[in-house]
Every structure is written in C-alpha cells, then in structure tokens.
Amino acid sequence: MDEHMNRNGKSQTKLKDMVVVTYVDDLDQAREYETLLRLNDIPAVIKEPLDANAAGGIGVMVPEECLDEAHVVIESQDAYDDFYDLALDDEDEADLDADVFDDDDF
C-alpha cells in the first residue's frame, strides 16, 4: 500500500487506497468508530460528504486489506452496546418494580 509521511512524521495511507467500512449519520459516531478502529490497530479516516444533503451520511474508511477485520470490530462493539443498553433497560424496569412493593407508602 502506498504510504506517505505527514508533517508530524506519521505514516498515512492515501485516501484513494481506502474503502468505506460503514456510513453513519453524525460526526460523533464517526469519530467513535475511527477511535475504536485505531485502538485495534486499523488505520481509519472519516470522509464527510461534499454535499450536506447527500444521501449515505458520513463514511468511515479503512484500507481495503483491513475491511473484514474492521467489520468485525465494529459489529462486536455494536453488539456490546446493544447488550449494555438492554441491561440498563432491565435495571430500570427492576427499579420500577421494587418501588411498587415499598412499604414506606402505607
């Protein structure tokens, strides 16, 4: 893969050698994915659409040879987030049920 040095001396993959691993609707989510991928040693960049009204959203891009691994990392994080959200929902419901049986109200 073609790489060049930026002014900080870090190697960067050329954008043309990268492919979109996912599209997201907001920049914060794109940054979270970018950080997650980089923490897993996968180079990643954010590609915002030139037209703000363009369909598809903000692209998170990785080198083509890292695409499969990047999908696994993102899917694993999404599954973890879904599990965590479900656990919090269950905890909230349990708190509501406990309040029903509280003897302080009688």
pLDDT tens figures, 64-105: 999 999 999 999 887 766 666 776 665 555 555 555 555 555
Give pLDDT, residue 7: 47
Residue 76 three-state SS: helix
pLDDT tens figures, 16-63: 789 999 999 999 999 999 999 999 999 999 998 876 666 668 999 999
Q: Which of 7, 4, 13, 6 is nearest to 70 (CA)?
A: 13
| pTM for the model | 0.63
Give pLDDT, residue 46: 95
**Domain residue extents for the chain:** 16-98
List beta partners, residue 13: 3
Q: Which CATH number fits domain 16-98: 3.40.190.10, 3.30.460.80, 3.30.70.1530, 3.90.76.10?
A: 3.30.70.1530
